[in-house]
Structure 1
Amino acid sequence: MTPLIPLTRDLVLIGGGHTHALLLRRWGMDPLPGVRLTLIDPGPLTAYSGMLPGYIAGHYDADTPQIDLVRLARFAGARLVIGRAEGLDLAAREVVVGDRRIGFDVASLDIGVTSRMPQVEGFAAHGVPAKPLGQLARAWEGYRTGEGRAHVAVIGGGIAGAELAMAAAHGLRHRGARVTVIERDRLLPGASDAARRLVRNRMTALGVTVIEGTQVARIEADRVCLDDGREVASHFTIGAAGARPQGWLAETGLSLTDGFVDVGPTLQSSDPRIFAAGDCAHMLHDPRPKAGVYAVRQAPVLFDNLRAALSGGRMRDYQPQKDYLKLVSLGDRTAMAEKWGRVVALPMLWTWKDRIDRRFMDKLSDLPEMAAPKLPDPVAEGVVEALGDKPMCGGCGAKVGRGALREALAGLPARTRADVLPLPGDDAGLILTGGARQVISTDHLRTFVEDPHLMTRIAAIHALGDVWAMGARPQAATVSLILPRMSAEMQRRSMAEIMAAAREVMDAAGAHILGGHSSLGSELTVGFTVTGICENEPVTLAGARPGAVLILTKPVGSGTILAAEMARAAPGRVVARAWEAMVQGQARASEILAGAQAMTDVTGFGLAGHLSGICEASGCGAELHIADVPLMEGALELAEAGIRSTLFADNMSGAGAAILGAGGARAELMFDPQTAGGLLAAVEPDRAEALLAELRAAGYPAARIGRMVEGAGLKLV
């Protein structure tokens, strides 16, 4: 048997820039055993600069210029931390991300630049920086679909500002766009006279006004005020006046030039454990302008040198080219090319540029299928069938099927203690201690997200669900933890992140962490045993009566989304929003629904399975109106594409006598296993609307999804 290789080194990539995106692809094809790879970025997507003007002009939809970091991270086997890096502690070897500290042995910076203009009054409130690119792309999506005459101002008349101004004029022509470029020097400083003349003529044809030799005094919601007293109408003001370094780099202690990280030929900074690439780096050995072409060509050198730094290998030098072909979009499907002082503009150049850009994006989206390890030959009968045709899901998708679980529990001996109360069908138990009613439950999750901090938050919310579902107040918790086999230092780092996340959730819930147990194994597994105090009668599965209205506090679809993410078939934005839903606690919802007839949390057996549990315990039936059940973004589309959790079939067969009055993908999502799902409550009909209003005011996407009825069984209508 091949031995499990322990993790011994942490490599942290700070920023999802072009260099790191290409590095992730290479890493997925040729990882270095023993290294835990981490990517930190503010969002699940990052914009590709080459296509942004085309998006502003309307040539691409919102998704086309976006690099999906969730998919890339899954392909590379990396953990993705969604958050903005704010500092480096070189002595402790930690990256500061908000309240978190993420340890590293080797780190690499590819955080780009910013065009924020903090020195300009009103920019923070009314301006949009051209970089980082994601913020501009998101803001433009809403503005482009508005109504009325569009007024846009672009501060900065360099290549980037000129491209954006021409793109905006073309993209907003249906709104009679008035676009103004404001440049303190002259248009396209540093460009050749021929390039400047061509761009100026193109701007004139598009109706773009150029104001040169003046600066911005302040920005207001509907105008830009210049220092000479003039005012420029603008409802959308873009800051594109040069590339500025990220401010926090100044506090790192690294050697900088004008705020950019100094690197040598190996792309190492003044601290040999820290590398830097892309626009945030300044190449001491051969300074170059800020351009994406250098970032792309640094990727293979950075990949080799990071591996060498982690394995004791030999590094190689990066030598940038002296000049490069500049392709500038001119608003419509025309582009200008400039190299060695020669300038030409043709429609075919835009087509060529589009082909280059799409090829780059295809490289990062059409990821190769890596061969799975071959099974030994021979193997026991049934091994192939048991493995199935896809990886086993994590989270609640990895649960034992309801049928097998019921059969095992049916063999347990009858209750022998008077202070332990039976609650048929409920996941939590009820104990009488000194007159107090104490709820106890335990739960653990097989990892489905590589970030241990996020995984712990989800597992803690999930474990608390049984306590909240009984209307109890969380009291105490113990942690049950299996870490992948790793070095002592990495154990320390991982435990610190996990316990910080556990404390964050349990403190917010009012529960005290007493301790727990940890061990090493083949993969991360996080669990909690939790107790809670019932100050009132516990809400169980058994009290629902015909006529009661069914309320659900969270959307469903996490099992399908997580299964798709494992197969790299789920859009990163969809996955990130599913994570956000999973970490939403249910404490306030539990308080609001405390007087429910019956309540449960929707987890591994799916909405239909857990509602069937209420039906069985309460001795009545239910109608589930599937059209009214809220779904997570993207879940229906993935289900329609045939994505299913590995627990789906068990949930279909284990939901009891469910009658499918309606079919299709939406109906099948009723059997989708949920992780850290919402509360499902049966409430008095005359209280339903008031409870829904209170839940929504508290931030829950709650919905009325059906009712309890006479008879038995569950009907999906």
Structure 2
Amino acid sequence: MDMPRLPATRDLVLIGGGHAHALVLRKWGMNPLPGARVTVINPGATAPYSGMLPGFVAGHYDRWELDIDLVKLARFAGARVVLGAATGLDLEARVVHVPGRPPIGFDVASVDIGITSDMPALPGFADHAIPAKPLGPFAARWDHYRAGDTPAHVAVIGGGVAGVELILAMAHALKQRRRLAQAHLIDNAQALMAIGTKARARLIQALSEQGVTLHENVEIAGIEADGIRLADTRLIRSDFTTGAAGARPYDWVSETGLALENGFISVDAQLRSSDPAVFATGDCAHLTASPRPKAGVYAVRQAPILYHNLCATMSGHSLRPYRAQKDYLKLISMGDKQALAERFAATWSGPLMWTWKNRIDQSFMQKFRDLPKMEQPELPQPHAQDMQAALGDKPMCGGCGAKIGQPALRAALAPMASTSRSDIEMLPGDDAALLRIGSARQVISTDHLRTLTPDPVMMTRIAANHALGDIWAMGATPQAALASVILPRLSPALQERTLSEIMTTATETMREAGAEIVGGHSSVGDEMTLGFTVTGLCARDPITLAGAQAGDALILTKPIGSGTLMAAEMAGIAHGDDIAAALDLMMMPQGQAAQVLATAHAMTDVTGFGLAGHLMGICDASQVAARLDLSTIPLMKGAASLAKQGVRSSLFPENRAVLPNLPQGNVADLLFDPQTAGGLLAAVAPDQATQLCEALRASGYPAAIIGEMINGPIGISLS
């Protein structure tokens, strides 16, 4: 007998994607705690690894090599990712605040948000400099700066190890490009006092070899557009200034009510804060029992203890203490491919040390690049015939990738093509019907989605905009909506928490579209499924699939490729940034686009049957052919490369079978990619097309003219 799917009863929220949390997620994927639901909150889809930042700045690594892909890692761990920066932790309400979404409830939380080297008290820093931490924004700014071709003047504020590594890397990179004019390292005390005498002497020698001017025991009055103004009025010229002086906690931590030490979260030997349900690790934490300097090695070694203690807290077991070593091996980059190693005052330097450091760093990152493959369970024996064919060779996609194929759907719905009621008009090919109530005209449609992301808030926005697509495509104004919610098995507390997130988001999304949630239905099932039945009011005749004319231009308001990207994400081969961008597009409402396209002759929303399938719907209803220019069709970031690798949604074969005569392979196959909450496809008068497309772009839609309607046998051709 199969074991029933266990309900979730506890929410674990990981605030920040620091090194310890990344390792916890990896461990969780291999050994999750049954009944615990995990959320990770991070400003972006990736978390940069600090150990390789100097190598990137020096030009030894590409930008992507720095990043731990949290989206991919969360998929492996079965966790949801919330892409946003936490701004508050309410201990009484047990929620985390992230702008732009309902509060995120937790039973146990852990904080690993790192530190910032921002200097808000230093005049002009916010306007004319960039802190070295957080690493993501700094790396992006440096990448742009070093690509220039003018003489470079750079400066780093802070004479610690981090500041020395940065200025050596910057000087090396700019010398390689023949751009270095001046490089400065500035400190208000003596530089490099946290390391031994021999190591300090070798690094100061390296500064001289790289042409870096060291300014010690100087005070800075402020940062100006063209450099750093010292207290003695001297100006150190710099057009790229960064700060690596010390470590400052994020401001919101001070408002949590947790016990702090100089702004950092105080934790005991078990990594617990003053609230036993809240843990902290990495640079944002202060170890009260054994204080240690801010260094990534401690966060990495805290990860196994943190994982155990989080599980123990949620399961009622004993916690373990973290015992920090007294000293650790310091491997310090020296600009070129050399490094200095120091431990217990012993020092070594040279290319061999850089090779050693690189091997350690690459080994750490490889843990996240090649995640363990989880074995699929064997089919039970014996089993009914055709079981393997029905399962397919990969997991079923979510969103519109889980739709029933077009041939089966058409055959089943054929008897429903007409109605006996005079006040209902079935619109051929459309997913909505026109209702007449006196002189009023109302359209009604319904849609629901199998979950494609475990985040209820994101999933609700996508499902709501997806359901509204038919209303917008008909030129109607959204009016009312009924919600249909299926939740997986959860404890009553988690049911309430999840349903609150869903309904808060649904209400906001529908109201933004001009509609109101007026009721709905909820039930429990194997997985989260969300849907809406939506009505809209028509001030004039609705825009249908019929009405397109030969010569009309075809406008598409959103790029395609979401089915391929989500299939790749399920397989663990998509880039997190690409998935985040695709989800943002799926959450983009089409209300303004529908207003711009109000004069369209025919219009539809591109969803499960793909661009080609929905365009064929216009061709059939309008009795006219279409020609697409493949080179003009906008594609989601990453979709083309994945298509060339052979990645396909599980619905692709059935979509492709509808139009077997179109070219096959690579980008052409994206025409049959099922879209979730896709764009509007409109046939418009040719003399209006350019103006309409420009208006759409001005409203924020990545719209394009992708083809035209033509005379000829009904069908689609490519130019």
- Which TM-score band (shorter chain)? over 0.9
1:597 alignment partner in structure 2: 601
After TM superposition, give the deviation of residue 227 of structure 1 in Å.
Answer: 1.9
AA partner of residue 135 (structure 2): L
- The question of 1:38 aligning with 2:44 is answered no
After TM superposition, give the deviation of residue 175 of structure 1 in Å.
Answer: 4.3
1:133 alignment partner in structure 2: 135
CA–CA distance in structure 2, aligned partners of residues 231 and 442 of structure 1 = 66
2:449 alignment partner in structure 1: 445
CA–CA distance in structure 2, aligned partners of residues 540 and 239 of structure 1 = 59
2:194 aligned to which of 185, 190, 195: 190
After TM superposition, give the deviation of residue 372 of structure 1 in Å.
Answer: 2.0
- The question of 1:117 aligning with 2:122 is answered no
1:647 alignment partner in structure 2: 651
AA partner of residue 128 (structure 1): I
Q: How does 1:380-459 map to 2 (within 5 A)?
A: 380-412=384-416, 414-459=418-463
CA–CA distance in structure 2, aligned partners of residues 60 and 25 of structure 1 = 24
AA partner of residue 379 (structure 1): H
Q: How does 1:211-226 map to 2 (within 5 A)?
A: 211-226=215-230
CA–CA distance in structure 2, aligned partners of residues 703 and 356 of structure 1 = 47
2:505 aligned to which of 480, 497, 501: 501
Contact 2:418 2:426 survives alignment (8 Å): no
Contact 1:667 1:716 survives alignment (8 Å): no
After TM superposition, give the deviation of residue 126 of structure 1 in Å.
Answer: 2.2
- The question of 1:56 aligning with 2:57 is answered yes
Contact 2:89 2:96 survives alignment (8 Å): yes
Q: How does 1:670-685 map to 2 (within 5 A)?
A: 670-685=671-686
2:99 alignment partner in structure 1: 98
After TM superposition, give the deviation of residue 663 of structure 1 in Å.
Answer: 4.1
1:468 aligned to which of 472, 477, 481: 472
2:496 alignment partner in structure 1: 492
Three-state SS of the structure 1 residue aligned to 2:687 is helix
Moved over 3 A (4+): none
- The question of 1:616 aligning with 2:627 is answered no
Q: TM-score, normalised by structure 1?
A: 0.98
- The question of 1:559 aligning with 2:563 is answered yes
After TM superposition, give the deviation of residue 413 of structure 1 in Å.
Answer: 6.4
CA–CA distance in structure 1, aligned partners of residues 125 and 503 of structure 2 = 40
- The question of 1:176 aligning with 2:216 is answered no
Contact 1:22 1:296 survives alignment (8 Å): yes
CA–CA distance in structure 2, aligned partners of residues 508 and 615 of structure 1 = 33
After TM superposition, give the deviation of residue 86 of structure 1 in Å.
Answer: 0.9
After TM superposition, give the deviation of residue 595 of structure 1 in Å.
Answer: 0.3
| Alignment deviations for residues 483-521 of structure 1 (CA, whole Å, 9 cap, x no partner) | 010011001110111112112211111111112111111
After TM superposition, give the deviation of residue 384 of structure 1 in Å.
Answer: 1.4
| Alignment deviations for residues 599-630 of structure 1 (CA, whole Å, 9 cap, x no partner) | 00000000000000000000010001111100
After TM superposition, give the deviation of residue 716 of structure 1 in Å.
Answer: 2.2
CA–CA distance in structure 2, aligned partners of residues 455 and 37 of structure 1 = 16
Contact 2:111 2:279 survives alignment (8 Å): yes
CA–CA distance in structure 2, aligned partners of residues 402 and 471 of structure 1 = 25
Three-state SS of the structure 2 residue aligned to 1:580 is helix
Q: How does 1:566-585 map to 2 (within 5 A)?
A: 566-585=570-589
1:72 alignment partner in structure 2: 73
AA partner of residue 645 (structure 1): S
Contact 1:148 1:175 survives alignment (8 Å): no
1:697 alignment partner in structure 2: 698
Three-state SS of the structure 2 residue aligned to 1:563 is helix
CA–CA distance in structure 2, aligned partners of residues 429 and 234 of structure 1 = 65
2:293 aligned to which of 289, 307, 317: 289
1:316 alignment partner in structure 2: 320
- The question of 1:18 aligning with 2:22 is answered no
After TM superposition, give the deviation of residue 134 of structure 1 in Å.
Answer: 1.2
CA–CA distance in structure 1, aligned partners of residues 518 and 143 of structure 2 = 48
| Alignment deviations for residues 180-220 of structure 1 (CA, whole Å, 9 cap, x no partner) | 11111121132222222111111111111111112322223
2:523 alignment partner in structure 1: 519
1:166 alignment partner in structure 2: 168
Decide which moves more: 594-603 or 379-388: 379-388
CA–CA distance in structure 2, aligned partners of residues 281 and 81 of structure 1 = 22
AA partner of residue 564 (structure 1): A
1:278 alignment partner in structure 2: 282
Q: TM-score, normalised by structure 2?
A: 0.98
- The question of 1:143 aligning with 2:145 is answered yes
After TM superposition, give the deviation of residue 43 of structure 1 in Å.
Answer: 0.5
CA–CA distance in structure 1, aligned partners of residues 416 and 425 of structure 2 = 15
Gaps of at least 5 residues in structure 2 are none
CA–CA distance in structure 2, aligned partners of residues 581 and 221 of structure 1 = 37
AA partner of residue 45 (structure 2): P
CA–CA distance in structure 2, aligned partners of residues 278 and 311 of structure 1 = 24
Contact 2:603 2:681 survives alignment (8 Å): yes
Contact 2:417 2:426 survives alignment (8 Å): no
Contact 1:401 1:654 survives alignment (8 Å): no
CA–CA distance in structure 2, aligned partners of residues 599 and 218 of structure 1 = 58
Contact 1:659 1:716 survives alignment (8 Å): no
CA–CA distance in structure 1, aligned partners of residues 85 and 278 of structure 2 = 18
Three-state SS of the structure 1 residue aligned to 2:688 is helix
2:235 alignment partner in structure 1: 231
Cα RMSD, aligned residues only:
1.1
2:354 alignment partner in structure 1: 350
CA–CA distance in structure 1, aligned partners of residues 411 and 80 of structure 2 = 38
| Alignment deviations for residues 27-50 of structure 1 (CA, whole Å, 9 cap, x no partner) | 000001111011010000010000
2:249 alignment partner in structure 1: 245
- The question of 1:539 aligning with 2:543 is answered yes
Decide which moves more: 91-100 or 296-305: 91-100
TM-aligned CA distance change 1:703 to 1:384, over 3 Å: same
Three-state SS of the structure 1 residue aligned to 2:427 is coil
Gaps of at least 5 residues in structure 1 are none
CA–CA distance in structure 2, aligned partners of residues 708 and 301 of structure 1 = 64
CA–CA distance in structure 1, aligned partners of residues 552 and 185 of structure 2 = 62
Contact 2:400 2:675 survives alignment (8 Å): yes
Decide which moves more: 11-20 or 371-380: 371-380
AA partner of residue 368 (structure 2): L
CA–CA distance in structure 1, aligned partners of residues 710 and 147 of structure 2 = 46
Three-state SS of the structure 2 residue aligned to 1:462 is helix
Decide which moves more: 95-104 or 280-289: 95-104
CA–CA distance in structure 2, aligned partners of residues 651 and 235 of structure 1 = 54
CA–CA distance in structure 2, aligned partners of residues 151 and 419 of structure 1 = 75
After TM superposition, give the deviation of residue 392 of structure 1 in Å.
Answer: 0.3
CA–CA distance in structure 2, aligned partners of residues 462 and 122 of structure 1 = 46
Three-state SS of the structure 2 residue aligned to 1:489 is helix
Contact 2:417 2:428 survives alignment (8 Å): no
CA–CA distance in structure 2, aligned partners of residues 255 and 284 of structure 1 = 11
CA–CA distance in structure 2, aligned partners of residues 690 and 627 of structure 1 = 21
CA–CA distance in structure 2, aligned partners of residues 229 and 441 of structure 1 = 70
Q: How does 1:351-370 map to 2 (within 5 A)?
A: 351-370=355-374
